[in-house]
Amino acid sequence: MVEHDPAGGRRALSQWLAHIESVHFRSVDLGLDRVSAVLQKLLPQGPSFIVITVAGTNGKGSAVEMLSAIYSQTNLCVGTYTSPHLVSYTERVQVNRQEVAQSELCAAFEEIERSRVDIPLTYFEFGTLAALLIFQNRGVQLALLEVGMGGRLDAVNAVDPSVALISSVAIDHQSWLGSDREAIAVEKAGIMRKSRPVICAEPEPPLTIAQQAERIGAKLYQLGEHFSYTSHGDRWHWIGPGVEMKNLPMPQMIGGFQLQNASGVLMVVTALSHAVSLSEGQIHRGLSSARLRGRFEIVQSEPMIVLDVAHNLAAAVELSLNLDAFSVDGQTLAVCGMLQDKPVAEIAAQLETTVDAWYLGSIQDARGCTADELAQAIKTRTTKPIFTHDSVVAAYHAACKRAAFSDRIVVFGSFHTVGDIIAALKTDNVVH
């Protein structure tokens, strides 16, 4: 029996989150039967809003943020559903770029609980249904839905998108999605729909992307084939089918790969232009205003502190490139916490020439690695000093005490890791 908020007689958000985590005996159980059955009860006519679904190994959060910033330049009511969150669960569901209230989420969970009867929804399925219900109740006209894992069997895929975007395809979540890019691409291609546009911003896509599009009759727009971009100093140009945009502002998120993400975003905007017309000025303002925490986010300069949610090998490659591009005179101290299903040793090897010392913290989650487990894996690929701590916050504090003004601290490895440090930074006086 779940406790109720003694003040109002209803469950508080923290109680709801504990409850929805306990309903299904697995934290991940991919499939659409459960979520589709409950969605039919909640919204029998289906959602009334335009849907853009975004999948991808990396870059999908950045793409959703850019799309949200662009479409928010219009008079449309825009909803965004993303995951995971960094600090607060309310980050996941936003309307017009504002997080929804805890009470609104609790009300949605309560309605889902009544409707599901004995259907054992997962934590992510509860969250997806809550977002869709809130969007419907708020009169959202366009919703941006970020896939949690894969695509084909992800809860988000219970809704038919008007346009689908695949931001990238790399190796991650092999236990659920497959062991190679071809198999993983099939899962991500599951968000495609017959006769509807699907944009692939992966520059070297597995053949299974085009094969799946042809098999179901989706309209595939492939980076490098149907649209492209070029960089020109602090501006860039984009060319799509019958459209050319010049002198665009650079994405505000750091990294050359963000142009790849932005290019896919502009193809989405073009593909949806029959339903939502945008001026170049609106697109420029949207690109200029898009911001996302934890994507090579430099929060301090002396010593430099970088936050990055990089948690797979492809993201580690990009992190390494960014660290090289933003070099410092001193040493680089890595504060790292990771989940158990990640290729820790391979990620450490990718950063071996950049990192001078490792400060490892245990992640306080059932799927989290302990600092000792991380150390065992990392020491097979490095001769650099390794220090272990009970938490990533303790690891961060230790790195701060060691860091000189000319040094750099890079916090990475998981949303849990970066989220814990963001929360700590709000009250932390260790480094200024």
Task: State residue 8's pLDDT score.
Answer: 45
Give residues with Cβ within 8 angstroms of 7, minimum separation 6. none
- Phi and psi at 218, nearest 5°, equal -80, 155
Instruction: Determine the Cα–Cα distance for residues 170 and 313; give it in Å rounded to an integer.
Output: 8
Overall residue count recorded for the chain in this entry: 432
Q: What tokens does 356 get?
A: 């001078």
Edge-to-edge strand order for the sheet containing 243-249?
228-232, 235-240, 243-249
- Phi and psi at 78, nearest 5°, equal -115, 130
CB 395 within 8 A of CB 387: yes
CB 371 within 8 A of CB 395: yes
Give residues with Cβ within 8 angstroms of 155, minimum separation 6. 32, 35, 122, 124, 125, 128, 129, 148
Query: Which domains, and CATH codes, for the chain?
Result: 13-289 (3.40.1190.10), 297-425 (3.90.190.20)
pLDDT by residue for the chain (432 residues), tens only, comes to 333 444 445 899 999 999 999 998 787 788 899 999 999 999 999 999 999 999 999 999 999 999 999 999 999 999 999 999 999 999 999 999 999 999 999 999 999 999 999 999 999 999 999 999 999 999 999 999 999 988 999 999 999 999 999 999 985 665 656 668 898 999 999 999 999 999 999 999 999 999 999 999 999 999 999 999 999 999 999 999 999 999 999 999 998 889 999 999 999 999 999 999 999 999 999 999 999 999 999 999 999 999 999 999 999 999 999 999 999 999 999 999 999 989 999 999 999 999 999 999 999 888 899 999 999 999 999 999 999 999 999 999 999 999 999 999 999 999 999 999 999 998 765 454
Query: Which sign does the torsion angle of CA 301, 305, 309, 312 carry?
Result: positive
Give the pTM. 0.94
